[in-house]
Each structure stands twice: as C-alpha cells, then as structure tokens.
Structure 1
C-alpha cells in the first residue's frame, strides 16, 4: 500500500476518472505497506460511492515515468 498516490471516491461505477472526492498522498492520515487510512466527508445523499486507488508512476528501462491506471473496489 505504500505505492498508492491517490484515493478517489466516485458515484460513477464504471469510471474512476470522474471522481467526487480526491485525496492525494500528502493528505493520507496513515500510509504503511499494509494499509492506507484517509479521512473524507460525504454530502448527504442516497448515492453509492465507489473507492478507486491509483499507484505512483512506475519507471521504465529508459527512466521514463509511466502513469498507472486506477484500480476500483466495489
């Protein structure tokens, strides 16, 4: 879990790029190799929220950063 850079909450079940709440790594409450803790406030709503995470960019053999895709949790 220590390679997570972004946690988002979205109401769109099939698109993590459309997020209502974004929490970046500097704002994580706790981050260890086994867990990430974030604090978020949600508006009063009957909507479901889906959690998405994005890893830090990886480096290829040429030293270029490769942006990572979102991973969604249902």
Structure 2
C-alpha cells in the first residue's frame, strides 16, 4: 500500500471523527470510545477497500470503505 493511500485513509478518518455529535454522557471515556470507534472503523474500512480495489478504481474503493467503516464504527460505539 502506498504512502498516499495510507495518508488518505488517516486523513479521512480524522475528518470524519470531527463530525461527531456530542454524546449525552458527561464522561470523557464515552466520548473517546465513540471517536475511537468511528476512526477505527474508517481505518479498517479503508484498508479493506484498498485490498479489494485495483487500478483506477482503488481510490473509490478506499473512499467507500472508509466512509462505510466510519458509519459502522459510529453505529456500534456511539449511542
């Protein structure tokens, strides 16, 4: 995997983690778990997309995988 792809995955994960809404709990641990789940899902989804995609479609596969992974991680860890 190239450095550009890894940079894109990490930048996308960080950008998506900034879109988190405030949690209802007042503890920092709950907020950290929510952000970590979203970013972790984006990274895992991006890596899976990078392994599935090939050629010029690989960028689309990475972007789609990161987006869907972030949404899945958010749904699992944020309540």
Q: Which has the higher strand share?
A: 1
TM-score of the aligned structures, taking structure 2 as reference length: 0.29
TM-score of the aligned structures, taking structure 1 as reference length: 0.30
Q: Which has the higher helix share?
A: 2
